[in-house]
Structure 1
Amino acid sequence: MRITLRSKAAFCVAAALAVAPLAASVLPSSAATPTVTNVAAQPVEGSTNVKVDGSRIILGDAAATMGSVEVRQRSGIANLAPVRFDAATSAVVVDYKAGTPDSSTAEVDVRALVKDRWTEWTPAAAGSTTALPEAGDLVQLRIILLAPPQGGSPWASDVSVLPTNKVDANRMTIQAAPLKSTVYATREGLVGGTTANGHVIASRDHFVALPSRRGLASNGSGNYTVKVCTASRCAFEPVWDVGPWNTKDDYWNPSATRQMWTDLPQGKPEAQAAYQNGYNGGRDEFGRTVANPAGIDLADGVFWDALGLTNNAWVDATYLWTGTGGRGTVSITSGYLNLRNAASSSGAVVGMAGKSAQVTVECQTTGQSVSGSQGTTSVWLRVHPGMYVSKAWISAGSFAAC
């Protein structure tokens, strides 16, 4: 059955304007495929700078900063309520209407819940089949609206999604181990600015930016998290901004499924190829001369405090959503959680994990008793060789003993 979102009640906007005619909460698996009905407006978490104009979702009035890309754009994100189908589907057909005045754009992305984790966002061309990374019966759509600083505002309406099992042979797959690559890291800074997901950057903040929205988490969410490591320290941080340099360079994906630059090897950012090898004439997607090979931007708290960097540097980045394995979620209201070199709060700090970030869990051990958001416990989780966090601050299940 096709699920259609058509009226003012058809879209979900976190600023308290609209909702899809589907419950904002996840439907139980036993529920029948919902039909279109108007319900009371409810905001859906993670939407930013969009408003309802009749039957349309239209870009709001706030300006957005694209991190260190140095491109000023007006941007907005409208997350729609998850839709559950009667059975798992390996692909969907998304349809919608859009208006894009004055060089603006309107895009609808889709993701699926697979094995209790959301897959990466995938752009869905209107009326075409979009393959999901793996089959799932719960999908979510979001609308991305972008426009130049001046001019008209883009909009989208009449969004619908239909399950289908007509699969593109080149669809992405979730690997057993997430991709890890060595990339050049720069400091984002820009305290007081607004990230691509609507987060207002604080002093010594904890998040990272990657040059594609496919791995962009909603404000406050960590379901797209990167582990960034130097030789002696690591940080687990949510992806809350887009940059550096490019905005459609999902270099962590296989070459055949990258949004752009499909002739580059997996794991190599376009900016790095442009800077080192003169790729694309040494320019980024906007035609600017690439001045450094950056593939990731780090907020100040990650750069200075978590990793102890003083200058731009090469780091090992692991894109956690691209693979499987044990995970836990940092459950704190603000700031960061210290990583220790022993299962004790007296252990040396060897890294940090930001609010809502996911952490890899290798095993668990017994250590100092700690009280936190998850209660009082003596269980500590090893999240990287020689690095531990108390389970008192991590929402997670049980794991094998170290």
Structure 2
Amino acid sequence: MRTGLRAALLATVTAALVAGTVTPAVAAEPGTGGASWTADLTTGDAAGVDTDSGAVTLDTDAAPEAPRDARAPRGAEGGADAASTGYLTLGPRTLSRPTDQVDSTLDADVPPGSDVTVDVRGRSANGGWTEWVPSTASSPTRSTAQLPETTSVVQSRLVLTGAPGAEPVVDGLRQDARPTAVPEGEEDATTETAPLRYSVFATREGLVGGTTANGHVIVERDKFVALPSRRALSPRNTNDYSVKVCASNGRCSFAPVWDVGPWNTRDDYWNPGNIRQNWADLPQGVPQAQAAYRDGYNGGNDQFGRKALNPAGIDLADGVFWDDLGLKDNATVTVDYLWTGSTKLSNVDTSAAGDAGAVPVRSGPSDDAAVVGGAAHGAAVPIMCITGAWLQIGLGQYLPVGAVPGATAASTCTPAG
């Protein structure tokens, strides 16, 4: 855990200056291809942090506490001083040379019991984003994020965690992208992979009027989901990470990931053990809360030491739970983690139809076909093909062309034999 980062950084720089070995870092302007730059902390999307002073300060009044089952009131089992987490998502940065590693140097005050982490991600070959990679500390001030693939576009996010009276403050962030060569053949790689798919227990999030981890204010019949890892948390009002959730009744929902939970914040259970942030000994696809609730794993507790009251691996906003899936109680669902596949995803935009919430998914390419789910405004969907004025986004799942701007160039569907 880092403490006294500002003092440590100043001491390191002073000692180096005395030795005459410091070469000042050149800060590149935003949007340029420099390999080293100083982040502008007055810009970016803030959720649960305050940036008015030019520094980034955790706002424990605005930042959500650790996620928990919706039946447990705020502060339950975590005490009145439960830790809160806030984010500052900085703008993407295009580099002149590709990289697969970004080093970060922080100037920050981190009181005991609090934490500051730099998450980094890269633009993938299919146009989407890799998952956020939390940087690994190599010293009190420096940390490194090793990206899963080579990229020329990177984005960073500050993650501040603390309790009232122990709020961390970040005064500066310098980053260095280490240039690397693109492996031969990688630029032309065309291997098609399906997204990961697992069956997990789903709970209804509810909490209308509350604020999600990415700063979205929850409205009635909202359309989003929560996963228990910030690695797949979409920035506010984006669909960088979306899922397809299907219930046993055959209905499905396409929705963005806008919150972190239930129960945990470091459980990317869809990833294999060599990538999974915590609990690498669990089978891939098994949420930690499920293992805790059903098998007594970790003493039956989540990462915060709280008793897991259910085995949930995903939370569903009310519109997904009630309207799209037609659920009446918590249930096991099948989830496609769409960003993990190679298929390019397209954005759903229902505003042209005067509906900013969602568009019905139909069983066939017709307004008379049965409604079999919904696609949220802002969700990302795979386009299989086009037939007339309809787009096929899954087996027996269709959206009108107008709901997905720019998708008219999709291939023509083969008539059913």
Structure 1-normalised TM-score?
0.82
Q: Does 1:81 align with 2:82?
A: no
Secondary structure at the aligned position of 1:303 is classed as: helix
Would the alpha carbon gap of residues 328 and 175 (structure 1) be closer, same or farther in structure 2, given more than 3 Å must change? same
SS in 2 for 1:118: coil
Aligned counterparts of 2:344 and 2:66: Cα–Cα separation in 1: 32
Residue 262 of structure 2 is aligned to residue 244 of structure 1 = yes
One-letter amino acid of the structure 2 residue matched with residue 125 of structure 1 = T
Counterpart residue identity of residue 64, structure 1: P
How far apart in 2 are the matches of 1:59 and 1:83?
24
Please report how far the alpha carbon of residue 165 of structure 1 lies from its aligned counterpart in structure 2 after TM superposition: 6.0
Residues 255 and 263 in structure 1, CA contact (< 8 A), matched pair in contact too: yes
CA–CA distance in structure 2, aligned partners of residues 48 and 135 of structure 1: 29
Cα distance change of structure 1 residues 91 and 192 upon mapping to structure 2, 3 Å threshold: same
1:233 partnered with 2:233? no
SS of the residue corresponding to residue 208 of structure 2 reads coil
Secondary structure of 1:182 counterpart: strand
Could you say which structure has the higher strand fraction? Answer: 1
Given that residues 384 and 391 in structure 2 are in contact (C-alpha distance below 8 angstroms), is that contact kept between their aligned partners in structure 1?
yes
Deviations 1:329-352 (A, max 9, x none): 111342111101121223221101
Which AA in structure 1 matches 2:101? A
* Segments ≥4 residues shifted beyond 4 Å: 34-39, 69-73
| Equivalent residue letter for 1:245 | W
8 Å contact 2:39–2:175 — kept in the other structure? Answer: no
Where do 5+ consecutive residues of structure 2 fail to align?
1-5, 7-26, 76-82, 182-190
- Mapped to 2, the partners of 1:55 and 1:392 lie a distance apart of 42
Is 1:137 equivalent to 2:147 in the alignment? no
2:169 maps to a residue whose letter is: W
Measure how far apart 1:81 and its partner are: 2.2
In the alignment, does 2:341 pair up with 1:342?
no
Q: Residue 220 of structure 2 aligns with which residue? A: 203
Unaligned runs of 5+ residues in structure 1 are 1-5, 7-19, 168-173, 367-377
| Alpha-carbon separation, structure 2, partners of 1:175 and 1:257 | 21
Check the 8 A contact 1:175/1:322 in 2, yes or no. no
Task: Give the distance between the partners of 2:350 and 2:158, measured in 1 at CA.
Answer: 29
Give the alignment of 1:155-170 within 5 angstroms. 155-164=169-178
Report the AA paired with residue 364 of structure 1: I
SS in 1 for 2:174: strand
> Partner letter of residue 308 of structure 2?
V
Bigger mean CA deviation after superposition, 294-303 or 80-89: 80-89
Deviations 1:191-250 (A, max 9, x none): 111111111111111010110111011121111101101231110111111111111111
* Greater Rg over alpha carbons, structure: 2
Please name the residue that 1:118 is paired with: 129
Alignment-derived partner of residue 34 in structure 2 = 33
Q: How far 1:144 sits from its partner (Å)?
A: 1.1
Say whether 1:296 aligns with 2:295.
Answer: no
Counterpart of 1:216 in structure 2: which amino acid?
Answer: L
Q: Aligned partners of 2:65 and 2:217: how far apart in 1?
A: 10
Segment drifting more, 153-162 vs 219-228: 153-162
| Residue correspondence of structure 1 range 246-285 to structure 2 within 5 A | 246-285=264-303
1:14 aligned partner: none
| One-letter identity of the residue aligned with 1:118 | W
Does structure 2 retain, via aligned residues, the 8 Å contact 1:67–1:190?
no
1:3-402 matches, cutoff 5 A: 22-23=29-30, 27=31, 32-33=33-34, 43-44=43-44, 46-52=45-51, 56-60=55-59, 61-69=61-69, 72=75, 73-101=83-111, 103-115=113-125, 116-126=127-137, 127-148=142-163, 150-164=164-178, 176-231=193-248, 232-333=250-351, 334-366=356-388, 378=389, 380-397=390-407, 398-402=409-413
C-alpha distance in 2, partners of 1:118/1:303?
27
User: Per the alignment, do residues 160 and 357 of structure 1 end up closer, same or farther by CA in structure 2, a change over 3 Å counting?
Assistant: same
Question: Structure 1 CA distance, aligned partners of 2:39 and 2:88?
Answer: 18
Give the Cα–Cα distance (whole angstroms) in 1 for the partners of residues 270 and 259 of structure 2: 16
Once the two structures are aligned, what percentage of the paired residues are identical?
45
* Secondary structure of the structure 2 residue equivalent to 1:91: strand
- Count of residues in correspondence between the two structures: 357
Cα distance in 2 for partners of 1:36, 1:162 equals 7
Supply the distance in 1 between the matched residues of 2:39 and 2:198 (Cα, whole angstroms). Answer: 47
Question: Deviation string for 1:137-171 (max 9, x for gaps)?
Answer: 110111111222x223112233122222689xxxx
Supply the AA of the counterpart residue of 1:266.
Q
- Find the residue that maps to 1:251 and give its secondary structure: coil
Tell me the distance in 2 between the aligned counterparts of 1:103 and 1:151: 10
Shift of 1:49: 2.9
Query: Take 2:110 and 2:384, find their aligned partners in 1: how far apart are those partners?
Result: 47
- CA RMSD after TM alignment: 2.6
One-letter amino acid of the counterpart of residue 152, structure 2: D
**CA apart distance, 1:68:** 3.5
Change (3 A) 1:200 1:67: farther
Q: Distance in 1 between matches of 2:159 and 2:39?
A: 23
- Asked whether the 8 Å contact 2:300–2:308 carries over to 1, the reply is yes
Decide whether the 8 Å contact of 1:209 with 1:241 is kept in 2: yes
Cα 1:244–1:32 change in 2 (3 A) is: closer
